[in-house]
Amino acid sequence: MLNIVNMKIKTLMDMRLFVENIEAYKYILLYALLGISSCQLYAAEHNQDATSENDGIVSYPASFFQRYQPNTALDMVNVLPGFQIDEGEDKRGFGGATGNILINDRRPSAKQDLISTILNRIPASNIESIEVIRGQVRGIDLGGYSIVANVNLLEGSEASVRWNLFVEKNLQPMPLGPGGSVSLSDRWQEVDYNLGFETRRIIFGDEGSDELLDTARTLTERRTDGALNKGWEFYLSLNAATEINETLLQTNMKIGDFSTDSELISNRVPQAPGSDPRDEIFLDGLGMRQFELGIDAERNLTDTLNGKAIVLFTRQRDREISTQRTFDILGAQTAVRSADSKNISKEMIGRVEMDWTGIEDHTIQVNLEGAFNTLDGELEQIEDMGGGLVSVPVPGANTRVEETRGDFVIKDNWNIGLLELVYGVGVEVSTITQTGDAELKRTFTFIKPDVLMTYSPTQQQQYRLRVAREVSQLNFSDFISSTVFEDDDLALGNPDLKPEATWTTELTHERRFGEFTVVTVRAFHDWISDVEDLLPLSDTFEAPGNIGSGRRWGMEFEGTFPLDWISLTGARLDVKARWQDSTVTDPVTGDIRVLSSRQEFNIPSEFSYLRNENKFALALDFRQDFEVSRVAWGWSLQTRSRRPLFKVNEFEALNESAEVNTFIETTRWLGIKVRFEVNRLFDVIETRDRTLYTGRRSLSPIDGFIERRRDGGRELVLRLSGTY
């Protein structure tokens, strides 16, 4: 049948149509490698996308999402073709830190309250449409992103309650992990508000082993480990908006409490004759309290001038008590170490945004932001190695860090027919002061040009070129020292750390075929100054620091493909892939190497999973919806290359096997969505391979190897959710 249709299409073509559509044939050849039939592409190319409004916006009405039976705005955004949520967690300041999601053309005045969490509190019944904005429209500040999603809420929606209950069970011997959330969306007098509460019992852990090997890779000690983490988290949130005398007032508030207790039991058996086994027990108690309040006011000052003022305050208090106990073969305690750390961080931001449209085809944006950040850290460490309790000083652990920052940005958004040009410059001045164990004060000035050029020859295709200078967000915890009992190590702080600055260049091509199929290819190249990495302090210790200039380059691919053409009715496949390489001069060896990765396994989002420093990453998401029976099922796969970490006397490589998750869901009974998930279907083995040196890495002989394997176990999840 496919061949017959293709023959008829070719028969009807004349030379005029061939010339007119030669561009489409080029893409047919390109995307044939992805399994898209030429019939589908030709038909899609000639069928005007019914959801398109103009070259800068693709609008999806609420009816588009009905096939997915969504309960929340987050459910809807997650199935947008060719779009991926970026929480903006690593962005500096407020402007881009709220991510690539807008609500009614505006960003929420919140940072700790992540945009995905806010979307998850909004019922799907309150959504009128969702727009994918791919250029400058309506004077919206894209916040440095080339593409954002705008969630349009219905006016005058009736009161609704969204609820969600779930229970998790790890197939390893662990307790159940229940949780749930509820939110109320309503209007009180002239105030629209959303009030939400969520809680969860934290249960996770793993089992595995460490093998210590000598230089000949002969086993010298085997460690059998079992870890269990349990606790609770609670969050209360409020979002409200009202209009007073033509001024729109909005407020966002979040209060959170998080606490966990973890226990790691490590049975250590040396292989040398005459050596006795021992048990090491690591206990860790963590408590965290969060508070955030954001208020903003916006109004049209004149017919061509719009103004917005934002005030944001956040406070977080962390306390962690870590203990290591050593027991001999008879069960007698032979040593104990304990560390009690307290950190209090605060951030206060004031921001003014002005948009002026007094010149035809131009929107002038001026943003002025001031911020004051502080972190107070305290650490008390004691130990008893058999001779009684003694206090252990940790240099740089008791300190206060302050940052005062001012940021000014001016931009012009210029529409030139099929071309849109957003260009501007920012100036940032910041002063960082550290007192306590280290006394230091430094002032930095950064000039931040930013140019984004968007060319849209048709609604179906778009080219984007961006050149900008970006400044990274410092992690104040890197200024303060801490202990790592499990590695028998110190994580030293560095008071001389400064933000890395990056000249980034991105070239993106987006191609749309009908309302579902979207393909985006992005090439990037970054020139990095003051690369943040680990800086050697001695032959055995390092600290976060700046190691010089580096480069990063690569390509990203994103695509959404309907699969009806292979008889999978109502099915779609989302593909995200990234390949990159990088160079930097190693501060220990002087050799050229790749950039270090982050030392973590549990990635908070798929975006971070793809963007971590590694050679490649791939994420596949398959979903099939049976609309008549109101049943859907799907699976996802994530895999990536190993992630290197370069220390002064050690090289680490983190890796894990591919992760496959699957689900089935239905809304057949009482409108309640019932979803059953099997996560880590084929198990996920996490590895951490360490090469130890007698002195500086690669400049001295190898001292041994430590190879770690951890198995987190399969997980079953049952979720019930609904709206009334």
Q: Cα separation of 415 and 199, whole Å?
A: 47
| Residues 318-372: tens digit of each pLDDT | 999 999 999 999 999 999 999 999 999 999 999 999 999 999 889 999 999 999 9
Average pLDDT over residues 540-555: 92
Between the ranges 12-21, 169-178, 477-486, where is the mean pLDDT highest? 169-178
Tell how strand 127-133 and strand 57-61 pair up: antiparallel
The residue among 510 and 35 whose pLDDT is bigger is 510
* Residue 404, CA distances (Å) to 202, 431, 432, 640 in order: 36, 5, 7, 38
User: How far apart, in whole angstroms, are the C-alpha atoms of residue 481 and residue 495?
Assistant: 10
Share of the chain above pLDDT 90, in %: 62
CA distances from residue 529 to 348, 471, 472, 547 in whole angstroms, order as listed: 28, 10, 11, 9
Structure letter (DSSP) for residue 240:
E
Residue 110, amino acid: A
Cα separation of 379 and 400, whole Å? 12
Looking at the predicted structure, is the pLDDT value of residue 6 above 70?
no
pLDDT for position 23: 40
Which amino acid is it at 709?
R
User: Which residues are CB-neighbours of 328 under 8 A, at least 6 positions away?
Assistant: 276, 278, 334
- Of 2-6, 340-344, 460-464, where does mean pLDDT reach its minimum? 2-6
- The string of pLDDT tens digits covering residues 360-409 is 889 999 999 999 999 999 999 999 988 888 999 888 889 999 999 999 99
Cβ-count burial 287-325 (b if 16+ within 10 Å, e if not): bbebebbbbbbbbeeeeeebbbbbebebbbebbbbbbbb
Residues 6+ apart with CB under 8 A from 599: 645, 652, 654
- Residue corresponding to tokens 């987190």: 712
Confidence of residue 35 (pLDDT cuts 50, 70, 90): very low
What integer pLDDT is reported at residue 94 of this predicted model? 73
Q: Which residue has the tokens 């249709």?
A: 5
pLDDT of residue 417: 84
Give the chain's radius of gyration (CA, Å): 28
* pLDDT tier, 13 (very low <50, low <70, confident <90, very high otherwise): very low
CA-to-CA separations, 679 to 235, 354, 441, 683, in angstroms, rounded:
25, 47, 48, 8
Q: Please, what sign has the CA dihedral across residues 213, 214, 219, 223?
A: negative
Q: Which residue is it, tokens 């791919």?
A: 134
Give the span between the Cα atoms of 82 and 272, in whole angstroms. 58
Q: In this predicted structure, what is the pLDDT of residue 468?
A: 95
Task: Report the distance separating Cα 8 and Cα 20, nearest Å.
Answer: 18
Cα–Cα distance measured from residue 181 to residue 198, given in angstroms and rounded to the nearest whole number: 4
* pLDDT for position 516: 84
Output the average pLDDT for the chain: 86
Q: Is a pLDDT exceeding 60 seen at residue 649?
A: yes
Please give the pLDDT value at position 11: 39
In the three-class reduction of DSSP (H, G, I as helix; E, B as strand; rest coil), residue 58 is classed as: strand
Report the candidate in 484, 592, 504 with the shortest Cα–Cα distance to residue 547: 592
Q: How confident is the model at residue 30 (pLDDT cuts 50, 70, 90)?
A: very low
Given a cut of 60, whether residue 460 has pLDDT beyond it is yes
> 57 and 149 in contact (C-beta within 8 Å)?
no
What's the Cα-to-Cα distance from 628 to each of 70, 435, 569, 677, rounded to whole Å? Answer: 15, 66, 12, 22
Predicted confidence (pLDDT) per residue in 289-323, tens digit: 999 999 999 999 999 999 999 999 999 999 999 99
H or E segment and range at residue 6? helix 2-12
Which 3-state string (H, E, C) describes 472-490? CCCCHHHHCCEEEHHHCEE
Distance CA 251, CA 563 (A): 43
Which of 3-7, 16-20, 561-565, 675-679 has the lowest average pLDDT?
Answer: 16-20
The predicted pLDDT at position 513 comes to 87
Whether the pLDDT of residue 2 is over 80: the answer is no
CB within 8 Å of 4: residues ≥ 6 apart: none
Q: Check residue 598 and give its pLDDT.
A: 72
Rounded to the nearest 10 degrees, the angle between the axes of helix 22-31 and helix 38-45 is 140
Cα–Cα dist 322/337, whole Å: 8
C-alpha–C-alpha distance, residues 95 and 527, integer Å = 22
pLDDT of 487 reads 83
In three-state secondary structure terms, 105 is coil
Q: Are 203 and 175 in contact (CB under 8 A)?
A: yes
Strands annotated E in 486-630? 489-491, 501-513, 517-529, 532-536, 542-546, 550-562, 571-585, 592-593, 616-626
Predicted pLDDT of residue 1: 37
**Separation in Å, CA 381 to CA 495, 529, 577:** 21, 36, 45
3-class DSSP string for 602-662: CCCCHHHHHHCCCCEEEEEEEEEEECCCCEEEEEEEEEECCEEEECCCEEEEEEECCEEEE
Query: Sheet holding 52-54: strands in order across?
Result: 52-54, 57-61, 127-133, 148-153, 101-103
CB proximity list for 692: less than 8 A, separation 6 or greater: 649, 650, 702, 703, 704, 705, 706
